[in-house]
Amino acid sequence: MKTHDHAQVQLLRRILLGIVVVLWGALFFRLIQIQVFEYERYQPLSQKNALRLETIAGTRGTIYDKSGEILVENQPVFTVTITPIDYDTSNNQQIASILDIEMDEYIKRIDRARRYSRHRPSVLAAEVPFGPYSLLEENRWRLPGIGFRQQDKRNYPSSARASHVFGYLREADLDETQGSESIRLGDKIGKSGLELVYDPMLRGGLGERYYRVNALGQSLGEYTLASNERPNPIRGDDLVLTIDEDLQAYAERLMGDSKGAAVVMDPSNGALLALLSSPDIDLARLAGRLDREYWADINTDSLTPLFNRVTSASQPPGSTLKPLMGIIGQQMGLITPETVIQNTGTYRLGRDYADLAPPGEYTLESSLAFSSNTYFFELMEQIARQGKLDEWAGYLRDVGLGQPTGIDLGSESRGIVPDSSRMNQLFGPKRWGLGDLINLGIGQGVFSVTPIQLAVTTSLIANGGQRVTPHLVSERIVGGATREILEYPATPVTWIEKSTLEPIHKGMRAAVQNSVVSWLLEVPELEIAGKTGTAQNPRGQDHGWFTAFAPVNDPQVVVVVFMENGGFGSVSAAPIGSLLIEKVLTGTTNRAYVERHVDAYVPPDPDEDDENDGNDENDEEDGVTP
């Protein structure tokens, strides 16, 4: 019995030994197979198990002015990243101390990185000084999960600030990375201006690099794959602007700290030679690590420096509407260039509306020259009494009011063109009448335009009826070499004829010549045609407007100046516009006395101004006898 049991035990041992031998043999055979026969297949995979992938941002594109001067460029900065899955939290105190980050803030950044991705690197600290950066990089093998990037921040070498043109960058947040293969948490992306509108072009494309890690996730340095698997980062496109750096800087000097806007445009194609909204911001303080105190200041400043007045300050145009009224009145068959209207000094419609232009007979041309309100009250009354308000509003939309201009700066105000539907919304059906419409004829009441819209309509008057698209970018340079010219088609307003525009041109030219402040406006041999205006403001000082083109017989430049709370347009906005025209057409300015006026001008106290009973000021300075 014992012999039988012993034999069974020996058999079982042999079976188990055989199984072990077979298993070890199979394992050895598989090892030989992998190491020898399938080496080419598994060798890259084994490498990748010891590698970490890091994406690299492309260099952001440079922005040039029309002559090739650099306006916005890049400056190298150092960034420390974190890959949460590899990170060792025992290094928190050491790294936070080196980076000079409070521990609470440091923990928040780690948590934010985890929410973004445990496997992908995100920014832990941006714009790190070289000393701390190099110290961490020298010890990278001790710091698993910590990575290092040399990135760029924006630098502004230009004498022109142009903050509302360029715009600023901010770090991408979690929402902005969702669904995007090209934006990582902490990447700088455009938030306003051209940096926002052209961000996909300027930003370029991501590249990749691998670096070795050991079993603890510690970096062992960069690794280059034998195969050509690693895409290089794609440089962002450069942009060439229509802006003239010197002209832009000069316009900014003239505007100073005033609230307002200025537009200088080529009426033939909509190219913007200068564009500014004042006050502006210091982009350099937003270029690197966020200056939180400065950011809070500009967001709470009562002067609203982040607000782009060129595209979004929607205000009544005052008497600058009168040239368009003259064009539309002719098209509607209500007036001709020879139509004469008597001005007695008062226009009566339920109540008296003062007309500060000298009493006498006015044609279309002279009504523009001396800004007679009576002429345009009479025209608006005809439009209203004949039930043609919607037809009138349609013509205004044809020339570009009440809708975006399409400028390549992103969002813009549509302004208000009051048709019957809008009046019903504002006052209620059948609750408005002639008295609510009469002021529309002189650009007052429920009517508003933006400076860029007024520049488009003035260009249309200057160029013979072409509605241009205002724009800032003329070319993109792809890959640092290939130049692509951007096209901005104009829309012809076919119902505007040359004969319709002739009295408008003459009237606007005479308005500059006849002004009692013509010494501030006239430039020898340039023949400026223009119109001033004042937008009433029930909450403070009125707003001043000036729109002009020159030379009158061969228009090469259009200027619009808007002075928020500036008072009469003739003394606040027009001198600035005149100097800008001189600068464009002659390359310099030789009227220091006008510059002194601009520098010294202070708007009058609104409490000391005489009221006009809802009447435009008639460009009071134009009050000379026709």
Q: Which of 112-121, 224-233, 567-576 has the highest average model confidence (pLDDT)?
A: 567-576
175 in a structural domain: yes
Taking all residues of the chain, what is their mean pLDDT, rounded to a whole number? 88
User: According to the model, what pLDDT value does residue 536 have?
Assistant: 84
User: According to the model, what pLDDT value does residue 163 have?
Assistant: 98
Is the same domain home to 570 and 438? yes
Mean local confidence (pLDDT), 598-623: 58
Contact 569, 534 (CB under 8 A): yes
pLDDT at 44 over 90: no
pLDDT band at 105 (very low <50, low <70, confident <90, very high): very high
Strands 491-492 and 466-467: antiparallel
Residue 261's closest CA among 451, 431, 388, 85?
Answer: 451
User: According to the model, what pLDDT value does residue 611 have?
Assistant: 41
293 in a structural domain: yes
**Least confident piece of the model among 217-226, 339-348, 450-459, 490-499:** 217-226
Higher-pLDDT residue of 2 and 588 is 588
Q: What percent of the chain clears pLDDT 70, i.e. is strictly above it?
A: 87
Q: Which domain holds residue 131?
A: 52-214+222-241
Contact 106, 92 (CB under 8 A): yes
Is the same domain home to 376 and 280? yes
User: According to the model, what pLDDT value does residue 523 have?
Assistant: 94
Give Cβ neighbours of residue 82 (< 8 Å, ≥ 6 apart): 109, 110, 113, 121, 122, 124, 145, 146, 147
Overall domain count for the chain: 2
pLDDT band at 216 (very low <50, low <70, confident <90, very high): low
Is the same domain home to 492 and 606? yes
Q: Each residue of 310-319: pLDDT tens digit?
A: 999 999 999 9
Is the same domain home to 209 and 267? no
User: According to the model, what pLDDT value does residue 354 have?
Assistant: 85
The whole-angstrom separation of Cα 91 and Cα 543 is: 60
pLDDT at 85 over 50: yes
Contact 490, 514 (CB under 8 A): no
Give, in order, the Cα–Cα distances in Å from 512 to each of 154, 504, 548, 549, 569.
Answer: 43, 13, 9, 11, 12
598 in a structural domain: yes
Q: Each residue of 461-498: pLDDT tens digit?
A: 999 999 999 999 999 999 888 899 999 999 999 999 99
pLDDT at 49 over 60: no
Is the same domain home to 154 and 123? yes
CA geometry: angle 435, 436, 440, nearest 5 deg: 110
**Least confident piece of the model among 37-51, 356-370, 590-604:** 37-51
60 in a structural domain: yes
Strands 238-241 and 63-64: parallel
178 in a structural domain: yes
Residue 546's closest CA among 110, 194, 255?
Answer: 255
Helix locations, 58-150, DSSP H: 92-99, 103-116, 130-138
Q: Domain of 200: which CATH number?
A: 3.90.1310.10
Is the same domain home to 237 and 370? no
Is the same domain home to 425 and 566? yes
Higher-pLDDT residue of 504 and 50 is 504
Is the same domain home to 343 and 201? no
Is the same domain home to 70 and 204? yes
User: According to the model, what pLDDT value does residue 539 have?
Assistant: 75
pLDDT at 528 over 90: yes
pLDDT at 624 over 50: no
Q: Each residue of 551-560: pLDDT tens digit?
A: 999 999 999 9
User: According to the model, what pLDDT value does residue 215 have?
Assistant: 60
Q: Domain of 344: which CATH number?
A: 3.40.710.10
Q: How many other CB atoms are there within 10 angstroms of residue 283's CB atom?
A: 22
The amino acid at residue 101 is I
pLDDT band at 119 (very low <50, low <70, confident <90, very high): confident
Higher-pLDDT residue of 383 and 33 is 383
pLDDT at 621 over 70: no
pLDDT band at 124 (very low <50, low <70, confident <90, very high): very high
pLDDT band at 185 (very low <50, low <70, confident <90, very high): confident
User: According to the model, what pLDDT value does residue 38 have?
Assistant: 53
431 in a structural domain: yes
**Least confident piece of the model among 184-193, 354-363, 413-422, 428-437:** 184-193
User: According to the model, what pLDDT value does residue 626 have?
Assistant: 28
Q: What percent of the chain clears pLDDT 90, i.e. is strictly above it?
A: 68
User: According to the model, what pLDDT value does residue 222 have?
Assistant: 63
Is the same domain home to 384 and 396? yes
The whole-angstrom separation of Cα 516 and Cα 331 is: 32
Give, in order, the Cα–Cα distances in Å from 416 to each of 382, 400, 432, 445.
Answer: 21, 11, 17, 10
Is the same domain home to 268 and 237? no
13 in a structural domain: no
User: According to the model, what pLDDT value does residue 608 have?
Assistant: 54
Mean local confidence (pLDDT), 3-16: 71
**Least confident piece of the model among 116-130, 293-307, 338-352, 605-619:** 605-619
36 in a structural domain: no
Is the same domain home to 72 and 179? yes
pLDDT band at 107 (very low <50, low <70, confident <90, very high): very high
pLDDT at 153 over 60: yes
Please state the three-class secondary structure of 492-504 as a single string.
Answer: ECCCCCHHHHHHH
User: According to the model, what pLDDT value does residue 192 have?
Assistant: 96
pLDDT at 231 over 90: no
